[in-house]
Copies of this chain bind each other. A is one copy, B any other.
């Protein structure tokens, strides 16, 4: 296998409002060291793929507001590979943009699509599965995805049901599902043929373009009006973006296509979609507090996540159980871990205060 045809697209356009106040519109989650490991989420994503894909074949698609941030955090990725969208249009549009851009360079390209802000603990297995997926996508007219072996009936994830045949390294996908309720999630887990949808896709540009032509022909037509990797690309993209429909790659393509294959992968994966999932994945002390600095003291407190962005700042917490405490220069959040889905509401309420926009 020559690696020259293998590409990676890191999707880094989210604003991560569920991680306020650490994640803000100016500095979203993917650019933060949310677990305190010493590298940001997008840097971890880059490092994870950089053994498999050479730097010149790694692309980042983000909002144009974040291209400078991406370039400063990923100095080894060529600056021209870091592409800014003029507005948010969900994942079908950004994927088709990058497919066109890469296909214009290399019509034989195989592309790995990775969200910028997910956690994967088992990097070795990730590399193995990605290499298998690239092989499958190269040799077959398949859309390939990695499905995460579920460890609990999580209602925060979409699920992929596959057609169980004899034990194999990959399976044909029967259906993509939306986030289930707990009852349904439990039956998914019991049935054994459901995997978590991690939003990791691998496809050859020919296969995926065939599907876009079939299921989103209007979008294809818009993108076909641009000349990629030229001086006029940006101007053309600015022109067509307002006309594109806001649809996810899951809804627009994956749920409809009949050539989707899934590779079950036990990756130690989390989408780190909430503070609770960060708590679950963070290192905890003997009292089950996840604390990001030695200058934080806790008394009579267990099960808390305490993140003080300024590590020189002292903090004392006393008498708190299962709370989220996040402190930045701009804002302080103290709320029960169980209320982490309220954070978007807090931020909205703050926006309604005069001059509140500054906080998000």
Contacts and interface: CB of A to CB of B under 8 A. Distances in A.
Interface of A: 21, 294-295, 297, 299, 308, 312-320, 323, 325, 327, 329-336, 339, 342, 346, 349-350, 353-354, 356, 358-359
Which 8 pairs from chain A and chain B are nearest by CB? A318-B335, A314-B359, A314-B331, A315-B332, A319-B336, A316-B346, A317-B334, A316-B333
Contacts of A323: 319
Nearest to A323: B319
A320 B299 contact: no
A331 to B, nearest CB: 4
Contacts of A299: 335, 339, 342, 346
Contacts of A339: 299, 318-319
Contacts of A317: 334-335
A345 to B, nearest CB: 9
A272 to B, nearest CB: 20
B358 A312 contact: yes
B295 A316 contact: no
B356 A332 contact: no
Nearest to A338: B319
Nearest to A359: B314
A335 to B, nearest CB: 4
Given A295-B353, A350-B297, A335 B316 contact: yes
A350 B298 CA distance: 11
B334 A313 contact: no
B335 A315 contact: no
Copies of this chain in the oligomer:
2
Most buried by B among A312, A319, A358: A319
18 contacts: A21-B314, A294-B353, A295-B356, A295-B359, A297-B349, A297-B350, A299-B335, A299-B346, A314-B350, A315-B332, A315-B334, A316-B331, A316-B346, A318-B342, A319-B335, A319-B336, A325-B334, A327-B327
Contacts of A336: 318-319
Contacts of A359: 295, 314
A200 B217 CA distance: 85
A319 B294 CA distance: 26
A353 B331 CA distance: 25
A292 to B, nearest CB: 13
Contact of A332 (B294, B312, B314, B350): B314
Contacts of A294: 353-354
Contacts of A335: 299, 316-319
Most buried by B among A318, A335, A354: A318
B313 A329 contact: yes
Nearest to A339: B318
B318 A327 contact: no
Contacts of A325: 332, 334
A21 B308 CA distance: 15
Contacts of A316: 331-335, 346, 350
Nearest to A319: B336
